[in-house]
Every structure is written in C-alpha cells, then in structure tokens.
Amino acid sequence: MSRRAATLTVASVLVLVLGMVGALLPVPYVALMPGPTSDTLGTDDKGVPLVRIDGQRTYPTDGHLNFTTVTYRGGPGGRIDLLTALRGWVEGDVAIVPEETVFPKGESQQKVDEENTRQMRDSQESAEAAALNELKIPIRNQVQVDSVQKGKPAEGRLKPGDEIVSVDGAPATSVSDVTGRVTRRKPGDPVTIGYRRDGKDGKVTLTTVPAPTDAKRPVVGIVLADRFKFPFKIDISVGDVGGPSAGLMFALAIYDKLTPENLTGGKFIAGTGTITPKGEVGPIGGIQQKMIAARRAGAAVFLTPAGNCKDALAARPDGLRLVRADTLKSAIESINVLNGAKGTIPSCENR
C-alpha cells in the first residue's frame, strides 16, 4: 500500500471514530414525547376512581374526558446523546428542546420534579374550586404560605402552612390580592402581614427587598397558594403525574359527576390547559405531543387553550377536532353544542 493510501485510510478511520464518539457525547437538550392519557371519569389500574367525591350526591357518567401528558428523556441527571437528538429532530412525534426550557438553570432534576408535584396539587385544588364556582356551590378561600425562601425577610418569621389573613390591615382574599398589595410598594418599604398559625393570630412587619429578576419589584420571600375550604370531600388520584396542565380536564370531570346530565354524550373528548379558581383556562407546553397522545388513545375532540391554538393548528393529527377552550364555562357550552344544543363552537381557526 502506498504512503498516500495508508494516510487516507488512517484519516478515514480517525474521522469515523471521532464521528462515532461525537455522536455518543451528551448534549444539553431534552426529548419530549407523547405520554400516557388518563380518563378523569374512569379508574386507575387498581380500580380507584381518578376523581372521587364523598359527602355530595353524584351522577353516572359516560364517555371520556382524558387529560394528556408528555414524557421526556434527558436532563441534568442523564443527558441524551447527539445521535438521539438528531434522530428526534427528524421524527414527527418527538420535539427536541433546549434543556433550560424544562430544567431552569441552577435547578436539579429533583427540584424540578418537586415543583411539578406542587403544580399538580395546586391545579387539582384550582380545578375543584373552578367546578364548584361554576355550579354556584359556596366555598371559602384561604391564602396560605407554601414555602419560605432562604435569605429573604420572611425567613424565620413566617412558616409553610401559615394562613395570610391581612396585609397592612386589609383582608387577604386571594394570592393575587396579597401579591398586588406588596408589589405596590418599593423595595425597602415595610409591610405588615397578619397570619394565622395553629389557630392563633399573629402579625409580622417585614422590610421588602428587590426581586432577583426585577430590582424594581419588592418581595418578602414567600411563595403563596390559594387554598379552599370545600363543603364536601373531593379526591383526585393520578399517581406520579406532575405539572398544572390537567386542570381543565379535572374541573370538567368534577362538574360532570355533580350534574345529572351526561356531559360528554358518550363521546371521547381529550384536552389540556391550566385552570384558575375562577375557571380561566391557560396555555401549556408540549401541545403537539399531547395531541398525538390524545388521537392515539381514540379522541376525536381536543379542548385547546387559546394560547396554544397557533402551534396546535400547525401540528394537528388527522381526525382530531380542535375546540378552543377559553374558560371552563365555554368548554362546557362547546361540549353541549357537540351533543346537539344550540350555539356555536369556538375553534382555533377563529381565535
């Protein structure tokens, strides 16, 4: 073999080896894929209803109201390799996204999982409140300290589980009410917070500090959550699923179980969307993968938050009708129209 041929052979082998090694190097991307869907009107694999109501009359249901999920591969604890990322970019049901869109910088996978669990818990409570508000069933709202941030003014002064009852003497009626009153001040201003702990009332005056992401916004270092006192017990059981995006479907299931009419009319309806206690539906992530999961499960109708309509239209699977859901009320009305009631159904095309 000539020297030139030998050199080319060695170079080719080196390029091949380097290419193979490079393809197996971890990259800071996450692969999002269609996840399982679950019928909020049905039961889990142990026969336990996903939504169970005790202490209030319920009615038989039919059809499906499925919430959808997204699974992922990658993350700080186990990054995907370049080859997997490249393969995902050409597959129609996989989205390859930068790692920080799922795992914010500086946060571990455990921290993200804990936050997703908290969001799921909050979304369930918001769904319960939204359904009961829609049914005009009275509930009582509490503003509760969910966590206290280290190094902030509230550390050692307020505790998780404290009920916030007032801000500078004005009653605290909701999280937005409390945060609004605090943020109307300037960093360095004092704020007096009334709280209830273990049945006893107390007050604490804190000096606000600038928010880490906005020096003009004052904070005291507490994460708040709306908590509600319901007149009867509602249990939602979904295993280890996290995040807030099933709120709309939980609320619809609760509404359906508490009303004598069969909401779905036997139809297979799936959907997604966050929900507020007032019934407002918000956008979510992974809409493409969730639609694919819904269609594979058998859904013909997909309830879509208005903020996701553009992306949903661009990736809608064949045979799946997109119904725009702005509020719990509008979603219920749209389903009723699908079942023959008079009215129009808002779509993503005319958002």
Domain ranges of the chain: 31-136+232-350, 140-229
- Residue 75 and residue 30 in contact, taking contact as beta carbons nearer than 8 Å: yes
And the tokens for 136? 């005009």
And the tokens for 40? 């909020």
Query: Which residues, 6 or more positions from 212, have their beta carbon under 8 angstroms from its beta carbon?
Result: none
Cα 8-13-17 angle, rounded to 5 deg:
150
CA atoms within 13 Å, Cβ hemisphere of 261: 11
- Residue 202 and residue 217 in contact, taking contact as beta carbons nearer than 8 Å: no
Rounded-to-integer distance, Cα 1 and Cα 247, Å: 70
Instruction: Fold for 31-136+232-350, please state it.
Output: Ribosomal Protein S5; domain 2 (3.30.230)
And the tokens for 265? 């009319």
Residue 131 is predicted with a pLDDT of: 97
Question: DSSP labels for 115-172?
Answer: HHHHHHHHHHHHHHHHHHHHTT---EEEEEEEEE-TTSTTBTTB-TTPEEEEETTEE-
H or E segment and range at residue 136? none
And the tokens for 112? 């993200």
H or E segment and range at residue 63? none
Rounded-to-integer distance, Cα 343 and Cα 339, Å: 11
Residue 247 is predicted with a pLDDT of: 96
Rounded-to-integer distance, Cα 166 and Cα 112, Å: 31
Residue 198 DSSP symbol: T
> Pairing between strand 281-282 and 140-148?
unpaired
Q: Minimal CA–CA distance to 233: which of 52, 59, 60, 61?
A: 52
Q: What is the pLDDT along the chain (351 residues), one digit of tens a residue?
A: 554 554 445 444 444 443 444 445 677 787 788 999 999 999 988 889 999 999 999 999 999 999 999 888 777 767 777 777 777 666 777 777 777 777 777 666 777 778 888 888 889 999 999 999 999 999 988 899 999 999 999 999 999 999 999 999 999 988 988 999 999 999 999 999 999 999 999 999 999 999 988 889 999 999 998 889 899 999 998 887 888 899 999 999 999 999 999 999 999 999 999 999 999 999 998 999 999 999 999 999 999 999 999 999 998 999 999 999 999 999 999 999 999 899 999 988 765
Instruction: Fold for 140-229, please state it.
Output: Pdz3 Domain (2.30.42)
CA atoms within 13 Å, Cβ hemisphere of 4: 0
- Which residues have a catalytic role annotated? 245, 290
And the tokens for 65? 């109201």
And the tokens for 38? 């679950």
pTM of the model: 0.79
Beta bridge partners of 171: 166
Number of helices (H) and strands (E) in the chain: give both, helices first: 8, 18
> Token pair 């007050």 is at which residue?
203
H or E segment and range at residue 35? strand 29-39
Rounded-to-integer distance, Cα 199 and Cα 58, Å: 33
- Residue 287 and residue 272 in contact, taking contact as beta carbons nearer than 8 Å: yes
- Residue 326 and residue 334 in contact, taking contact as beta carbons nearer than 8 Å: no
Taking only Cα atoms into account, the Rg of the chain, rounded to an integer number of angstroms, comes to 25
Rounded-to-integer distance, Cα 230 and Cα 133, Å: 11
